[in-house]
Structure formats: C-alpha cells, structure tokens
Structure 1
Amino acid sequence: MGLTAQSVSRFFSFRKKKQKDWAFPEELCRRFTLAEISAATQCFDQTLCIGKSAFGTVYKGRIKVDGDEDRKDVAIQRISGGSERRMREFRAEVQLLCQLRHPNLISLIGFCQENGERITVYDYMPNGVKHAVIHRDVKCFNVLLDQNLVPKLSSFGLSKMGPPALSNALIKMNSNLTGTFGYVDPEYLDSGNVTEKSDVYSFGVVLLEVLCAKSILILSNERPGSGAIFPDLIDPFLKGKVAPDCLKKFMNITVRCLRRTGAERPTMGEVQVELECALELQESADAVKQLKELGTSASTSLAPPLPAYDMEDYTYENISFSEINETFCILVRFI
C-alpha cells in the first residue's frame, strides 16, 4: 500500500512539474530566460513601452538572437493577467506562430515563461505559410506597420490553426465566442462556428475603416439618418484622389466581405487579387491623368510624373453609392 501511494505521488508530482514547465522543442522556437528579457527591456522600463492592450504591454528591446554577438531590436510583449484562459491564449500564440513565416504576419522569434511571467518576443522574418489560420481578431489595432510601412498582422492569442495545407474545403470549427465588438462575424455570433470567412468579414470592417479613416465605433454613431452617408464618409485626404474605377472596385470588395453569410463572401485569396486590381486601376488612371495634364502623349513624354496632390481631383458623379450605404446601414445596426 505504501509503495502504491508513493508511486501515485511520484506520478502526479512529475505530471504537475511537466505541466508547469511546459517543455517546448527548442528547434521550433527560442526560449529566453527572464534575465535575458529583463536586460533587453532594462527591467521593463516604461520609457521603452511602445504599446498597451487588454493582453499586455509591449516594449522595444535589444536582445541577442541565435547566438549573434550583436543585439537586435525586437518587440517584447509582457502578457498581463494570470488566468487559465490567458495561459491558453499565450500557449496557442506561441505554438501557432513558431510554425508560421509570412511577409504579412508578425513573426515570433522566442518566448519566456518563468516566475509567473508570460512573454513573447517578435521580429519580422518573411518566409512561407504552412497552415491555414483563422485569426478571430482581425482589426486595425492588430495590423502593425514596420519601418517600410509593410503591414504585419499581430495578436494570435485567439487564433485557430486549420489543416496543414490549404484546400477548397471551408474550415469550420465550433468555438467559444470571442473577438472584438464591431468586427465579429454575425454568422459566428449566431452559430458559434468560426470559419475562414469569419476573418474575411472582419477584414471587410478594416477596409471600411481605411476608406473612412475612422473606427467602426465612431462610424456607427454617424448613421445615415443623421446625414452621414457615402461619399461624405470617405476620408477627406482620399476623396478626389482615388480614381473612380479604383473606388468602385474597392467598395465592391468591401461590400462583398461584409455579406451576412460566409458563403456569400469571397476568400482572402480573392480579396487579395481584387485589391491588386484596384491598385492597378488607380495607377493606370493616374498615368492617364498625368499625361493629359502635362499635355503630352504616352509615346513622347519624358517629363517626370506629377505628384498626386498636384493633379486635379477626380469626380464621382457617375458612381452609385447605394450598395455600400445599404451595407453600412446594416453593419451599424448591429453595433
């Protein structure tokens, strides 16, 4: 009996220790010590704080990576709260990002779990994408810009990983409702099933915010009933500078992303292609306008192009804004 009790005690002691330490393969992700993190952030000096959110505080730090003698700039997130839910989100983000490399995903280079601290260390290391990922919290706040203004999607604590390879099959999984108010897919709210199309909806909200240069919560207070409708809602900095064909294409993508059901929405691959098409339409229209305003032809012009702000504004008399206004009305009704 004594031996049995001792064996059981050892088993649970070993199991508890293993869960606490959370052994993680070093080849997948660098595990930093708390001493290294503390040195990199000068003991979490507030002057190095570069951002705060509900998940924690982000510091700019300098740390040695992969045995390099020189220290490099990194973003270090110190996750707040000690709940079991935060622990799950922390581990989910580490396990997910250590397997992903993509030019538009913020790249994880390491983490620290020591003395009750949960810390993630990020860098920008583009490569390829191995898994389909459902982010579940796409919003402007989580899209960061590097020194070259290249966008990086961050905050993967709520993310779900799909199968190892993308396929035509729609990933669908039951999930506890989570996300940010105003960005959450209404179909997800109704069914509890999160899909790749849930992120498409959230990205549609981001596109709307980009067009208007206002958050969705501010836009929800500028309802059509108060006189605020498109084209008046377009960012004044963009209004007149976006070519009509480009604007129509951009609005069409936005409206399609914000359809009420996932089946009606495009895939993110389709959204990318459509956005690239919108950019081509803008560049083509600008080139034609520049040639006209310089009074030359495409075959003989050697003059430098005019800056966009020196060109005459585009007009939108022949554009119908009814569809995006209708979509906007439906969207803000649920906020």
Structure 2
Amino acid sequence: MAGKASREWKVFPIVKSKEEKKRTMIVGLKSDNYSREMLLRFLHKVVNPRDNVLAIHVQEPSDTFDPNTFYIHEDICKAKQVDFLVKVCNGDSYISELGYQVRVNYATILAVGCSLSGIKQSVVNDCLKELPPSCSFLVMDKSGKIVLQRPGTSQQGSIYAPFRHPLSSSSEKSYFHQQRAASQLRKSLTVPSSSTAPSMQQTDITARYNIRKAVQVSDLWAEKVSHGSLILEAKGLVRHFTFQELSLATNNFSPEMVIGVGGHSKVYRANLEDGQAVAVKILKETHFPAEDLLHEVRILSDVKHENIIQIIGYCYSKEMHAIVCNLLIGSLKQNLRQLRWNERMGVAVGVAKALEYLHHSFNPPIIHRDVKSSNILLSGTRQPQLSDFGGAMVSQPSEQISASTKPSKVVGTFGYLAPEYMMYGKVDEKVDVYSYGVVLLELITGQEAIQTNEANHESLVLWARSLLNSGLCERLIDPHLSGDYKREEMEIMISVARLCLVHSSSRRPTMEMRVRDNLLNAKSKEEKFTWRMDSSSSTVITTLPVDDSYHEILPSEAPD
C-alpha cells in the first residue's frame, strides 16, 4: 500500500454547533452520487445531536467533486445540532488518508459506502489495518443498510472510547432502485461500430442521448424526494413508513379496510403497531409522481391547525406512494344530510378558520385549490378538518406576476371552480373563497355541488342563483332539517355564500375580512340581517352590517 504523501487540504466549514461535541465521525466520500446518498442516510440513522461529522474526499485525477453542494446535508445537521465539515485532501491512497484523518481527529467511527452488491473483503481488511481498535469501521449502502461494522485492528494511535451504538441490521428497500438501473443502462450503451451506417449512428446517438436525459431527470427527482423527506424526518416532523409496515397495518390492504375511494387515491384504515388507528391514502402514481408526494408532505408538515388534517407520515417506495394521517369518521359529503343545523354551522366556521389560516398566516399564502365537501373530513364530534393538499400551491406575489407569466394548470373539481380560474387559470386566495361559497350552499341545501341524474348534470350554484334572483330564498333550505334551525344563522350563511360566489374575484371578500367574522358573530344580537327585493330589479339584496356592495352575483363583465 502506498505511503502517505504530503497532505494539503481545503477545509469547508458548513455547520458549527454551540453545544458540546459527543463523538467524531469520519465519512469517506467519492465523486459519485451514491456517496452523497449514503451520507444522507448516515446523518439520519447514526448521527446524534452534538456529534462531529467530517466528510473526507481524497482528490483524484480529473476529479469532479464539488464541496459546495452539500446544502441538504447542512440542513439535516442544523436540524440535529451537528457539527459538519467537508475536507478535500491530497493523498496517494484513499484508505491511508481516511486512516490518517481518523487518528488526528480521534474519530470513533469511519463510515464508507458500498454498492448493493457489497464491499470486497480485501478492501475491508485494508481499512481495518489502518484503524485503531477504538474506531469502528462501518460500511453502509445508499439505502441506509449497515452491511458491516467491526473495530479496527491496528495498534498505532491513541486509544479512544469505543463506539457503542444500537444499530439495527434490518432496513427498508432502497428508495431509488431506478438509480442502479440507470447506472446499468448507461454501462450497456456502447458506441456503434465503424461498420454502422452514418444514419444508423446518428439515430443511435440520439436515442442514447434521450434515454440518458430521461434517466438523469428521473434520478434528479428521486434525489430531491430523498433529500426533502430526510430533512422532514430529521426535524421530527413526519415518519417514514415502509411498504411492509403499512401492509401489516392494513391486513395486507384488505378490501375490508377500505374507507374511501377517490379518482386518484384509495384510503385504508390502518392499525399501527403501537395501537394507533390511522388513515392511509394510497396515491395513484400516474396522477401523483414522487415530487407531488413530497410537495403534499411538506405542506402538511408545515401547517398546524385544529381544522386541518394532521399528517403522521408517508411511504415512498417502488410499491406505492402513500400519506398517513389521523383517522376521522368520514367526509362532509358522506355525512351531510345527517348533520344537525348547529353541526353544519360548526363545519362552516371551522373551514373558514382553516382557510383564513392558510391565506393569512403564511407569506406568501397557501392556496388549497380543491376545497369541496369530500375534502372536508369530520371528527367524532363533527369538527371539520380540511384535507387533500395535493393540488395546493404557494401564491405568487402580485408584484412578481408579469404579462409573460403562464396561467396555472387547473386542478380541482367541476362545480367548485371559480370562473376566473376555470377560464383563465388565474389563481389567488379568491379561488378558495369561491369554492368555500359552494360548500356553504351544500350546507344550506343538503345537496351536492353537481346533481347527477340520467338526464343531465345540474349545477347547485346555478340553481341557487335562480332562486335567489327570484326572491325564493326559503326554497334553498334543506328539508331534512325539518325547520330545526335558527333563522338568523341561516340568513347569515346565505349572505356569506352570496358574497363568496360573486362572479368578479375582486369583489369577493377575503376569509379574514368578512367570512369568518360574519359566521363567528352569527349569534350576536347586534347584527340584523334582512331579505328584501330591490324595487327596481329582481335582484335579492342582503343587508349586511358593514355594507351591501356585494349583492351582485351574476355580472355582465368578464372576471378580473
């Protein structure tokens, strides 16, 4: 084995913790992405708060290693209060340099990565000879599985506290099996022989370029999902479930455990090993690729509100993509007609609070884009929780919107979509306000947004408008209530629904400005609401405590 050359290294300090260090660990890095993947798993599974991690890379000829691209690792270390340092060293021998770094830094662990096929025994022996018994040699593959862990055998160097850390030898399957397949695909692609016709050569080169480009894009998204999910796990915000864990919790996804089926997902009841009952929403990958799963997980991990679904964890594997949330009794759509009036009023107020929180507690605001009765879940006490954030987006500030800005892709459900969103792709908080108005109509009438029968599909909004414009407000009220409601509260809910359903988005109220306050003050004796017919037209005007400028429900101008 070659001796150690004179050592020069560049030090790149990334994270510095103020807490006292516990252990020093050395991680050997190569230029490939597998080393970065292994380092992410190592930081997540092995490293404890206040540990010191040195990531060592030994330069090689034509090296492409960039020490300034460890932002994800930095975020994980910040979350775990870990000191993290990247060193780029010059040395003749990769193994000798790692052994030297172990001694000068009194490291208790040396970790290196390996492929899924394992590590050569000769490499293991060489590494053990370089390490003192006080340092454990740890080999981890990029999925996080520890394939080997042994103490060093060299008697050179200082004795240091031995490494004792409870690590499980079992682990989940690799998330990114496609990366290995991509590597094999690249190796199998060879330059065509000289006897190949020029046109065939050009076709083959183009095909190989397209395949390589597609594989690289797939790998990039897989890496982003891995990085993002690891940060969330490191911060303790969510738990990652394996396919096997969820299969066990749902009795192998038994049909008896199905509690809901949607166009893009299926929901199972699951009983976790700790006895907790949860809901597992399995997404159809054709509609929800990996980046969409991470997007929804990130948003749900950020929002904390009593009227928004609580995320517990997720599953990202080759078998399925799933989100695990708290278990509720069902949706508003399923239970609408069974709800008493005071329960319907509670649903209206709760959803208004949830939307106000999304629109006004975040900067820029979060737009749900798919507010509807089937996405409003109910607890055992009939308290609402807004769910399904797969289509949610962060609103773009108005000053950043230019004439070249492309309209947003329309997501959502027909019958709940605001006119400006459906026709022009315009998105802001008023899109959710309109959809909320449709939900209020459902609470008032007991009917779904789209009435389906063999003859036609009738819109609840159009039907309600025809009654309101004819002064027949009483006909809106659900007969299943049997008159058991408070007239003042009913008047307020109809008034708020009218405001939310104004055709022009600029004339709709915000959740903070009008909607929530009107509903919360529904029982106030100081507020008086009346229905009356405008003497000059057939438009019903609802008198509100602030003003009545929002009476127009079907204007002639295009939405702004």
TM-score, normalised to structure 1, is 0.72
* Per-residue deviation, 1:171: 10
Say whether 1:247 aligns with 2:490: yes
Partner of 1:19: 221
Is 2:503–2:554's contact at 8 Å kept on the other side of the alignment?
no
Which residue of structure 2 lines up, in the alignment, with residue 215 of structure 1? 448
CA distance in structure 1 between the aligned counterparts of 2:399 and 2:371, rounded to whole angstroms: 18
Contact 1:106 1:124 in 2 (8 A): no
Secondary structure of the corresponding residue to residue 427 of structure 2: strand
1:1-335 map, 5 Å: 17=219, 19-20=221-222, 22-23=225-226, 24=229, 25=231, 26=233, 27=235, 28-64=237-273, 70-83=274-287, 86-123=289-326, 131=362, 132-162=365-395, 174-218=407-451, 220=459, 223=463, 224=466, 229-238=472-481, 240-269=483-512, 270-280=514-524, 319-320=531-532, 322-323=539-540
CA offsets 1:272-301 (integer angstroms, 9 cap, x no match)? 11111124469x99xxxxxxxxxxxxxxxx
Shift of residue 260 of structure 1?
A: 1.1
Q: What is the RMSD of the two structures over their aligned residues, measured on CA atoms?
A: 4.0
Deviation at 1:244, TM superposition (A): 3.2
Give me the whole-angstrom Cα distance separating, in 1, the residues matched to 2:497 and 2:541: 8
2: CA distance, partners of 1:324 / 1:234: 18
Q: 1:258 to 1:49 in 2, by over 3 A?
A: same
Amino acid at match of 1:102: H
Three-state SS of the structure 1 residue aligned to 2:261 is strand
Residue 138 of structure 1: CA displacement?
0.4
Cα gap change, 1:241 to 1:320, in 2 (>3 Å): farther
Residue identity opposite 1:207 in structure 2: L
Q: Can you list the C-alpha shifts for 1:197-226, whole angstroms capped at 9, x where unaligned?
A: 11000000000111000012126378449x
The SS at the match of 1:71 is: coil
- Unmatched segments (≥5 aa) in structure 2: 1-60, 66-182, 188-211, 329-353, 452-457, 534-538, 543-550, 556-560
Residue of structure 2 equivalent to 1:302: none
CA deviation profile, 1:245-270 (whole Å, cap 9, x unmatched): 32222211110000112221111123
Cα distance in 2, alignment partners of residues 150 and 98 from structure 1: 21
Change in CA separation of 1:235 and 1:15 when aligned onto 2, cut-off 3 Å? closer
> In the TM superposition, what is the alpha-carbon distance from 1:55 to its structure 2 partner?
1.7
- 1:189 Cα shift? 2.3
How many pairs are equivalent? 284
Are 1:255 and 1:323, in contact at CA under 8 Å, matched by a contact in 2?
no
TM-score where L is the length of structure 2: 0.44
Mapped contact 2:492–2:518 kept (Cα < 8 A): yes
1:137 and 1:158 in contact (8 A); partners too: yes
CA offset at residue 238 of structure 1? 3.4
Opposite residue 416 of structure 2, the aligned amino acid is Y
Q: Distance in 2 between matches of 1:124 and 1:49?
A: 12
Determine the C-alpha separation between the residues in 2 that align with 1:61 and 1:32. 12
Counterparts of 1:246 and 1:194, CA distance in 2: 31
- Give CA deviations for 1:4-49 in whole Å, capped at 9, x if unaligned: 8x99979988885463352112123211111111111111111011
Q: Secondary structure at the match of 2:272?
A: strand
